[in-house]
Structure formats: C-alpha cells, structure tokens
Amino acid sequence: MTNVDELFKKPSVTGNAKRKFEPVQDPNEVYKSAKLDASGDVRSKGKAPAVEDEIDDGEAGPELPPDFEEDVPDDEEGRFFGGGMEQKTAQAMEYIDQQDEDEAPPEKFDSAWVRRFALNFEKKISKNAELRAKFESDPQK
C-alpha cells in the first residue's frame, strides 16, 4: 500500500503556472482603431461579410398546429377553477370589497376636533424633542 502523502502530492509551483495578464491597452489607441466612415459605419480592414442578412418576416419557430385558437374563452369557474384562493382568503377579499364600497362618513372638522388634533400634535413634538435630547448621538431612536 502506498503512502497517503504520495497520493495527495501538491504540484510543484513554477513560474510558468501563473496566469499572465494581457498588456494594458491605451484607451486612445482602442478608440482610434475603430474609425468611422462618413456614413457612420465602422470601417474594417477585413473582407466584406460573406453572408448577407436575410429580411426577417417576423415569424419564427415551427408552425402552429391547425387546432390552435388564440382567444380561448375561460370556463364558467374561471381558468384556474376559482382563482386559486382558499375559501378564507376569498371571504377576506369579499369583506374588503364590501368595506371599500361602503363610504366612510365625512369627518367633522369642528373646534373640538381641532383642539384634540393640536394637543396630540404638541405631545408628539415634545416627545420628539425629549428623545432627540436623550439620544443625541443616535438619531434613529
């Protein structure tokens, strides 16, 4: 039986095993290498293309089967038999729809409402000021 170290020998490291980088190209030289014609096409030093581009008529792939209908109507229960929702989810959606239909009574903007609103607003402002003073270095709190 052979030694385990012999089975898993590390390859000898040589200078040739390193990955070589391509020489850095000057961006101006790269820009100059692709010169444009007066018409805006790139002039190439090579030959003209051997294959001309064919005009595409817009249809690709195999032909559709003869019984293919694009506008297939859904069945009575919907294409996915009920829309894919559970019964509880459907009931919740119906409840939300009913609440949307029922219009909320308009709010009354009388003097008592304005007083309550101003008091709550002042409380929030004072609490904000206290927290800013207490947690001066941590603005998230």
Q: Summarize pLDDT for 16-37 with one digit per residue, the tens.
A: 666 777 767 777 777 766 666 5
Considering all CA atoms of the chain, what is the largest pairwise distance in Å, rounded to the nearest integer?
98
- Report the domain count for the chain: 1
The answer as to whether 122 is a domain residue is yes
Contact 107, 113 (CB under 8 A): yes
Q: What is the pLDDT of residues 80-126, one digit of tens each?
A: 555 667 889 889 988 988 887 777 677 778 899 999 999 999 999 99
Instruction: Round the average pLDDT of the chain to a whole number and report it.
Output: 74
Question: Given this model, what pLDDT does residue 41 score?
Answer: 60
The answer as to whether 141 is a domain residue is no
The answer as to whether 52 is a domain residue is yes
Enter the pTM of the model: 0.27
The answer as to whether 116 is a domain residue is yes
Contact 36, 42 (CB under 8 A): yes
The answer as to whether 140 is a domain residue is no
- The token pair that represents 35 in the structure block: 């010169």
Cα separation, 18 vs 11, in Å, equals 13
The answer as to whether 65 is a domain residue is yes
